[in-house]
Amino acid sequence: MAAPQQGNRNRRDRQDKPKEDSGLTEKVVFINRCAKVVKGGRRFSFSALIVTGDKLGKVGCGFGKANEVSEAIRKASESAKKAMVKIAVRDNTIPHEVIGEHGGGRVLLRPASPGTGVIAGGGVRAVVEAAGIRDVLAKSLGSNNHANVVKATLGALQQLRLREEIYKTRGIAIKSGNGSEN
């Protein structure tokens, strides 16, 4: 007969259990260090901008602030998971051209033919890859503020609509390739 567990002997085993893998990818877009000058010198705090996505058409961004980088990233990650939205993706690209705006940031997204890849930089690339889009052309216009560019990209992706959705809202029957209506 085994003796009962004593003290905290088994605590490590409980903490090391892997959390359920939700299949989400996280990308740190930007970490900002802010300095506050106080009597004894400078006090630093950090803010983090994170993009989270499941590579299946859901993506979100989060912003977190704390006195340590790891804590700021954790807060931003939680915020990004809460803010995830579903976007329209067709054949690893976007259905149509779209421009997104947020503050001074403007982002132009264009569909690309298969094999083109993600032609985008910085925050736009992070958002598009997290959403699961593999072929897209992007251009960041206006401000290059990381937060505004990411939010403009998310705004652009939320504007996307599949042809089927548009037909349904307009009450038009979708015709299949053989001439009969669905």
Q: What is the pTM of this model?
A: 0.81
Q: Which of 37, 63, 82 is the last residue of a domain?
A: 82
Which of 6-10, 40-44, 71-75 has the weakest average pLDDT? 6-10
Q: Would you state the pLDDT for residue 1?
A: 53
Nearest in space to 94 (alpha carbons), one of 150, 153, 149 = 153
The CA angle 92-95-99, to the nearest 5 degrees, is 110
Q: Which of 82, 102, 131 is the last residue of a domain?
A: 82
CA–CA separation, 113 and 10 (whole Å)? 55
Same domain for 114 and 155, yes or no, is: yes
CATH number, domain of 132, equals: 3.30.230.10
Domain that holds residue 163: 88-167
Which neighbouring-strand residues pair with 37? 42
Q: Would you state the pLDDT for residue 166?
A: 87
DSSP 61-95: EEEEEESSHHHHHHHHHHHHHHT-EE---BTTB-S
Asked whether residue 74 is domain-assigned, the answer is: yes
Asked whether residue 98 is domain-assigned, the answer is: yes
CA distances for 59 relative to 83, 115, 123, 133, 172, angstroms: 8, 22, 13, 11, 30
94 is written with which tokens? 């976007």
Mean pLDDT of the chain: 86
Give the tens place of pLDDT for each residue, 16-59.
333 444 789 999 999 999 999 999 999 999 999 999 999 999 99
Asked whether residue 77 is domain-assigned, the answer is: yes
> Per-residue pLDDT averaged across 150-178, rounded?
87
76 is written with which tokens? 């931003």
